[in-house]
């Protein structure tokens, strides 16, 4: 049974499954594999060291798939921000048709993308933010529940409540994000009012994810309790995998007088990249969500997506229909 939703129609994809834009992970080999399997692959713009490098990565991805794929541009407050406008220009000049925006105040970027006919999906963690983005003119929302990897916001609302709360108010198509990794989650998201799912951590544990096998095996062996919430006291909560580094960050920030400067040496993005690329699990932070608790293997993206869709169809046509027989 074909799962046609507003998301598959909007994005021109076969299945309502989108890959999250993940720092150091959203590269051409993963994005192309997801797109070739019928989902929407996403390149992460800031993984590339320069706008020109992003242009080359987009071309590399195009050589690997003729299916739709998108680019993530995450805007974060920073003392020395990257040249966001130049990255945006690289995306536009490269003829990308779908962009995922995330982070702080994306209006300038959204307006420029929309002026060039680009479909914009904005990732957010609260209904009020989703409504602001809808008013701004984005085409779809990705709503991130508290289970997610990365920054789940400060409201601590899990997907079971956040997704239907957003669906009640947001009129444009919506992806459910945070905690999704199998057919059960896809059916649940659709039942809660979403039009598809966004998966990050689950796509890290695939053959094509460009990270070390030690990291993939960590996600398979970890349970749903094996994450840490860091930066809580700094009002910038992040969910990461448990390791000696994140344990140390949590411990230091338990001191009510602790500031970011006290943990800055532990949380450098470059160190997280070392962990992902070398497999040294204690080299830096490894971002991962509670969905680790239902990750049991490392399949190809094609096998994973086909399995999710087959399981979702079986749940809809067999298990759920049995309740109304």
> How much of the chain is helix, strand and coil, in % rounded to 5?
45, 15, 40
Q: Is 40 found in the same domain as 100? A: yes
Domain count, the chain: 2
What's the CATH code of the domain at 162?
Answer: 3.20.20.70
Q: Is 316 found in the same domain as 234? A: no
**Distance between CA atoms of 147 and 156, rounded to whole angstroms?**
9
pLDDT band for 80, please (50, 70, 90 cuts). Answer: confident
Q: Is 180 found in the same domain as 304? A: yes
Residue 19: which H helix or E strand, with range?
strand 17-19
Residue 295 lies in a domain: no
Q: What is the mean pLDDT of the chain?
A: 96
State the number of CA atoms in the 13 A half-sphere of 33 facing the CB: 20
Q: Is 142 found in the same domain as 37? A: yes
Query: What is the extent of the structural domain holding 279?
Result: 213-290
pTM of the model: 0.96
Q: Is 204 found in the same domain as 115? A: yes
Q: Where are the alpha helices (DSSP H) in the chain?
A: 6-11, 28-36, 51-62, 84-93, 107-115, 127-136, 159-167, 183-191, 201-204, 213-221, 244-252, 269-278, 301-314, 321-323
Residues contacting 132, CB < 8 A, separation 6+: none
Q: Is 230 found in the same domain as 101? A: no
Does residue 2 carry a pLDDT above 90?
Answer: no
Q: Is 228 found in the same domain as 189? A: no
Q: Is 251 found in the same domain as 156? A: no
pLDDT value of residue 1: 64
**Distance between CA atoms of 141 and 36, rounded to whole angstroms?**
23
Q: Is 244 found in the same domain as 128? A: no
Does residue 147 carry a pLDDT above 70?
Answer: yes
pLDDT in tens, 201-233: 999 999 999 999 999 999 999 999 999 999 999
């Amino acid at each position: 049974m074909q799962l046609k939703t507003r998301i598959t129609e909007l994005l021109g994809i076969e299945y309502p499954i989108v890959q999250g834009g993940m720092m150091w992970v959203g590269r051409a080999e993963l994005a192309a594999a997801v797109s070739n399997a019928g989902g929407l692959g996403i390149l992460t713009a800031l993984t590339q060291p320069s706008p020109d490098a992003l242009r080359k990565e987009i071309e590399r991805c195009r050589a690997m798939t003729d299916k739709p794929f998108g680019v993530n541009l995450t805007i974060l407050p920073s003392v020395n921000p990257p040249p966001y406008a130049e990255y945006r220009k690289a995306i536009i000049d490269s003829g990308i048709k779908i962009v995922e925006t995330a982070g702080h105040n994306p209006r300038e970027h959204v307006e420029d993308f929309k002026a060039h006919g680009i479909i914009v999906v904005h990732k957010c963690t609260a209904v009020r933010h989703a409504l602001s983005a809808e008013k701004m003119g984005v085409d779809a929302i990705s709503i991130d529940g508290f289970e997610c990897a990365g920054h789940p916001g400060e409201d601590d609302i899990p997907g079971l409540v956040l997704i239907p709360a957003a669906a009640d108010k947001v009129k444009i198509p919506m992806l459910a994000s945070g905690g999704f990794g199998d057919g059960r989650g896809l059916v649940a998201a659709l039942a809660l009012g979403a039009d598809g799912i966004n998966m990050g951590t689950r796509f890290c544990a695939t053959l094509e994810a460009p990270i070390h096998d030690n990291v993939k095996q960590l996600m398979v062996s970890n349970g749903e309790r094996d994450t840490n919430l860091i930066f809580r006291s700094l009002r910038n909560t992040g969910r990461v995998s448990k390791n000696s580094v994140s344990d140390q960050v949590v411990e230091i920030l338990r001191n009510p007088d602790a500031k970011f400067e006290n943990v800055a040496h532990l949380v450098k993005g470059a160190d997280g990249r070392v962990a992902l690329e070398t497999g040294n699990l204690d080299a830096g932070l490894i971002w991962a969500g509670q969905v680790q608790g239902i990750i049991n293997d490392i399949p190809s993206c094609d096998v994973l997506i086909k399995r999710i869709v087959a399981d979702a169809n079986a749940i809809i046509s067999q298990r759920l229909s049995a309740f109304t027989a």
